[in-house]
Amino acid sequence: MHKHDDDPFDPPPEAPTPPMDGECCESGCGEQCVWNRYNAERAEYERAYAAWRARHPDDAHFR
C-alpha cells in the first residue's frame, strides 16, 4: 500500500498560522485585520484539506 502523505506531488495542505498575541491592533480595520485574513486562510485550508482527504481516503492521517 502506497502512503500518500509521502507523495511529493500531492502533499497535504499546511494549516495557516494564527496571529501572534499583539498582532491585532483592535481598531476594526476590516478586511486588513490579521484575524480576518487568518479566518479566510483557515477556511481555504479546510476546503483544500477536505479535497486532499477525498483524493487520499486510505491515508495514514485518518487512522
Q: Tens of pLDDT along 18-54? A: 999 988 888 888 778 999 999 999 999 999 999 999 9
Is residue 1 very low, low, confident or very high in pLDDT (cuts 50, 70, 90)?
very low
Start-to-end CA span in the chain (Å): 14
C-alpha grid cell for residue 38? 487568518
The residue behind cell 509521502 is: 6
- Residue 2: which residues within 8 A CB-CB, separation 6 or more? none
**In degrees rounded to 5, what are phi and psi of residue 42?**
-65, -40
User: What pTM value is reported for the model?
Assistant: 0.73
The residues spanned by each domain of the chain are 28-57
* Rg (the chain; Cα; Å): 16
